[in-house]
């Protein structure tokens, strides 16, 4: 796989990463054996960029990922995140206070079983704490050698500017895919201007753009977090996915490969991190790195899935994004 630069501080990764969240939560039951085999296979296939967070599976994900990747420490880029704090009563809050930054980092290092984190993101911006204070504490971690590069997630343009003025930010990780293009107007141009890389999360639209999701099990988490997966919207969105499927078929690709190739084609400062806990999907998704979409292909995709096509917002509660 080709390499892409994230930011201007020297971080370089293979053009497709692996999102590990689903190995611990969100998209059906865990299978640690298959998840571990998926991580090993990813290494064999040249993936070197792995995405986790302290909150995924309440620490389970960092432990799982760390156990396998520890063996390959010098070959892999481990990205993790802090800020989504679970309080003793089980409620969630966003915490960007400096003391929480420090204690979260120490806890992540321990669970991962490593001496340093390559890319440390603030998972969500804390409205109650000036970004300079949070990033100031993150910068201390860089000085101490606990962290190599800094990132933000779902931050808005002004926050990105203020953060970057405090300490260079290497990457923004936010949702981006064929059906989520909210950040194209302001945030992505700001990243370009400042020389910050972009890591699109949920590039397969939480599995929707694979075209495989036709019926959701009753206990599926997706309708609970996103109106797009609620009954009526879901059916409307399926009609668009069916047209994406047709284009993919003509090009001898799967819809997932087409959706990932579309993200890769947007710009070479983007490194999508499709998530899977299965070797079969991983292998299929890597096929996207071999695809070159022509201008005509991109125009056809735009025609069937124009910007903003999705019925329903991406979250029920949009208060913690684009801050």
Ligand X SMILES: NC(=O)c1ccc[n+]([C@@H]2O[C@H](COP(=O)([O-])OP(=O)(O)OC[C@H]3O[C@@H](n4cnc5c(N)ncnc54)[C@H](OP(=O)(O)O)[C@@H]3O)[C@@H](O)[C@H]2O)c1
Give the residue with the Cβ less far from ligand X, 31 or 144. 31
275 binds ligand X (CB under 6 A): yes
Q: At what angle do helices 131-143 and 98-112 cross, to 10 degrees?
A: 40
Q: Which of residues 16-35 bind ligand X (CB under 6 A)?
A: 19-22, 27-28
- Residue whose tokens read 């910007």: 307
Q: Would you count residue 119 as binding ligand X (CB under 6 A)? A: no
Nearer to ligand X, 279 or 300 (CB): 279
How far is residue 298's CA from residue 261's CA, in Å, rounded to a whole number?
Answer: 10
SS3 content of the chain, % helix, strand, coil (to 5): 45, 15, 40
Stretch of 105-113, 276-284, 287-295, 298-306 contacting ligand X, by CB under 6 A = 276-284
Of 4, 206, 279, 314, the one binding ligand X by CB under 6 A: 206
Closest distance of CB 211 from ligand X, Å: 8
Under rule CB under 6 A, which residues in 154-193 are in contact with ligand X?
Answer: 154, 173
Q: Are 209 and 224 in contact (CB under 8 A)?
A: no
Residues with catalytic roles: 56
SS3 at position 150: strand
Task: For the beta carbon of residue 78, count every other beta carbon within 10 angstroms.
Answer: 26
Closer to ligand X by CB, 123 or 164: give it.
123
Burial of 232 (0-12, 13-18, 19+ CB in 10 A): exposed
Nearest to 290 by CA among 322, 320, 265: 265
Q: Where are the alpha helices (DSSP H) in the chain?
A: 32-44, 60-69, 98-112, 131-143, 157-166, 187-194, 222-225, 231-250, 255-266, 279-286, 295-304
Of residues 176, 201, 234, 262, which one binds ligand X by CB under 6 A? 201
* CB 33, min distance to ligand X, A: 14
Closer residue to ligand X in complex, CB, 166/285: 285
User: Any contact of residue 51 with ligand X (CB under 6 A)?
Assistant: yes
In this chain, which of 183, 207, 226, 241 binds ligand X, going by CB under 6 A?
207
The residue (of 96 and 274) whose beta carbon lies closer to ligand X is 274
Asked whether position 274 contacts ligand X by CB under 6 A, the answer is yes
Only one of the segments 6-14, 65-73, 185-193, 200-208 lies at the binding site for ligand X (rule: CB under 6 A); that segment is: 200-208
Query: Residue 264: exposed, middle, or buried by beta-carbon count in 10 A (0-12, 13-18, 19+)?
Result: buried
Binding mask 281-300 for ligand X (x = CB under 6 A): x--xx---------------
Among 164, 256, 262, 270, binds ligand X (CB under 6 A): 256
Work out whether 278 is an interface residue with ligand X (CB under 6 A).
yes
Three-state DSSP at 289 gives helix
Residue of 273, 288, 289, 293 that binds ligand X (CB under 6 A): 273
The Cα 82–Cα 173 span in angstroms is: 13
Compare residues 31 and 302 and give the one whose CB is closer to ligand X. Answer: 31
Distance CA 57, CA 275 (A): 15
Contacts with ligand X, residue ranges (CB under 6 A)? 19-22, 27-28, 51, 123, 153-154, 173, 201-207, 210, 212, 256, 273-278, 281, 284-285
């Amino acid at each position: 796989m080709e390499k892409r630069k994230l930011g201007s501080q020297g971080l370089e990764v293979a053009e497709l990463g692996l999102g590990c969240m689903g190995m611990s939560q969100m998209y059906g039951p865990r299978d640690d054996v298959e998840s571990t085999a998926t991580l090993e296979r990813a290494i064999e296939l040249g993936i070197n960029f792995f995405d986790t967070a302290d909150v995924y599976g309440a620490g389970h994900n960092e432990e799982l990922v760390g156990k396998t990747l520890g063996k390959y420490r010098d070959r892999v880029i481990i990205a993790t995140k802090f800020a989504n704090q679970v309080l003793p009563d089980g409620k969630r809050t966003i915490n960007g206070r400096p003391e929480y930054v420090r204690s979260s980092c120490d806890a992540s290092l321990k669970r991962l079983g490593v001496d340093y984190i390559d890319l440390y993101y603030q998972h969500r911006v804390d409205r109650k704490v000036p970004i300079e204070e949070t990033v100031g504490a993150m910068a201390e971690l860089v000085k101490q050698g606990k962290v190599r590069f800094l990132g933000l997630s779902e931050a808005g343009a002004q926050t990105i500017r203020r953060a970057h003025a405090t300490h260079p930010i290497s990457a923004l990780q936010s949702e981006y895919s064929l059906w989520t293009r909210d950040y194209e107007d302001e945030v992505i141009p700001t990243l370009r201007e400042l020389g910050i890389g972009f890591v699109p999360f949920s590039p397969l639209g939480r599995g929707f753009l694979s075209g495989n999701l036709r019926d959701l099990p009753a206990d599926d988490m997706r309708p609970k977090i996103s109106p797009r997966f609620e009954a009526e919207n879901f059916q409307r969105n399926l009609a668009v996915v069916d047209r994406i499927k047709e284009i993919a078929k003509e090009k001898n690709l799967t819809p997932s490969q087409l959706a990932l190739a579309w993200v890769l084609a947007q710009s070479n400062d983007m490194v999508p991190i499709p998530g899977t806990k299965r070797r079969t999907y991983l292998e299929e998704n890597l096929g996207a790195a071999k695809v070159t979409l022509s201008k005509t292909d991109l125009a056809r995709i735009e025609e069937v899935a124009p910007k903003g096509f999705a019925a329903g917002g991406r979250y029920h509660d949009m208060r913690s994004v684009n801050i």
